[in-house]
Structure 1
């Protein structure tokens, strides 16, 4: 079942690289905070690298000014996420999170079977806004689209927040 507005973020560990590979659980990422999480089908893929992640990098300070943390997640390993973040000049405070086995993606009910494209199980393209671990806004893209999960759309939706 797909996560809905009003639902709690499921408790699942993710990975990132800081001083080596680090396991970080979702309560640590979401509890007591305002957070935008956006997910992409794959690091280094065209739309993800040319539009999705760059939009959040470009508008990162606007989210920070509103007290909102920004997290990027993909079903990739943490080394790929680190390399992608470096290649895109992602600020250190914009966390690049790996959901290598798609456990978090499945828990959200937002998995995508991209096997026909040689990519296996991935995350659908989406963005959500959560306060204190509860989803307040959720935008899931239709297959092949990039509209509602953009940084610009999220900022419009959060106007006044």
Structure 2
């Protein structure tokens, strides 16, 4: 599993824009920026939709006031689902990124197998990335939602 002090692995994450699907190079996207990256097991799922993403939507301005350049949400879903979920949650301040095949999540070492629920998914986590280097990493215990909340990340900045 990736750890604090390590550089993010190479990878691609997709975003659906008005021009179509854009594949972002992770290292280029996070270069020269302070980024809060949080991951959810699935778009439109209960904890993710009721608490996790909404917390970052509500606190986006406060996070940015603490020097965060970009807030990004990633899930092992496709770019179309991530765009629809972001729209449904009024998450215009959050970059909604898809890890369609789970390759970025695998490279981080943060996968979990959910079986018939959805197969390979991401563990729930939040990290702060400074110029591509992880400066804070909070990974949730299974079925927990405590350390990756927006309030916790805001307090740590």
TM-score band, normalised by shorter chain: over 0.9
Whether 1:45 and 2:41 are equivalent positions in the alignment is: no
* Secondary structure in structure 2 of the residue aligned to 1:59: helix
* Number of aligned positions between the proteins: 155
| Structure 1 runs not aligned, ≥5 long | none
* Secondary structure in structure 2 of the residue aligned to 1:8: coil
| Structure 2 runs not aligned, ≥5 long | none
Measured after TM superposition, the shift of residue 66 of structure 1 is 2.1
The equivalent residue for 2:79 is 78
* Secondary structure in structure 2 of the residue aligned to 1:84: helix
Cα distance in 2, alignment partners of residues 109 and 29 from structure 1: 20
Measured after TM superposition, the shift of residue 64 of structure 1 is 1.5
Q: Which runs of structure 2 are paired with 1:64-103 in the superposition (5 Å)?
A: 64-68=64-68, 69-91=70-92, 93-103=93-103
Measured after TM superposition, the shift of residue 94 of structure 1 is 1.4
Cα distance in 2, alignment partners of residues 52 and 71 from structure 1: 12
The equivalent residue for 1:122 is 121
- Cα RMSD, aligned residues only: 0.8
Give deviations 1:10-67, integer Å, cap 9, x for gaps.
Answer: 1101100111011001012211000000000000000000000000000001111123
TM-score (norm 1): 0.94
* Secondary structure in structure 1 of the residue aligned to 2:2: coil
Q: Which runs of structure 2 are paired with 1:1-161 in the superposition (5 Å)?
A: 2-18=1-17, 19-68=19-68, 69-91=70-92, 93-115=93-115, 117-158=116-157
Cα distance in 2, alignment partners of residues 72 and 144 from structure 1: 19
TM-score (norm 2): 0.97
Cα distance in 2, alignment partners of residues 39 and 118 from structure 1: 17
